[in-house]
Amino acid sequence: MTVARTVSRYILGLAYILAGINHFINPAFYLDIMPPYLPWHGPLVFLSGVAEVALGALVLVPRWSALAAWGLILLLVAVFPANLHMALHPERYPDIAPVALWLRLPLQGVLILWAWWHTRRERPARF
């Protein structure tokens, strides 16, 4: 495994672990961004925090990193409605610039690609 790929995997994993922990430190923020059409806001915030911590930790384990990366992709797709809800209702988030709310949407694609890179097996170098 290349050094860049290993470093990327550790950054990815630690970022999700920290993001997941933040669900328990600052649950009010996550409850506020839940779209009203979704049920069980509290349990979903808790579950997404647990999933981020667990998948972030598993992506650090080489044996499980590809499966965990697929899990992160599914998680990113699952939380996209909350990000879209924020962008469509910027008045509810006066501390965040509306442009930042819209920029989060394509950032989801970047994060999905980053996780997807870690689902791929590394090919041996050819000389």
pLDDT digit string, tens, across residues 62-100: 999 999 999 999 999 999 999 999 999 999 999 999 999
pLDDT at 10: 95
Q: Over the stretch 114-124, which tens digit does the pLDDT of each residue have?
A: 999 999 876 66
SS3 96: coil
pLDDT at 38: 87
Q: Give the Cα separation of 61 and 40 in Å (integer).
A: 32
The three-class DSSP label of residue 125 is: coil
Determine the residue type at 25: I
Residue 125 has pLDDT above 80, yes or no: no
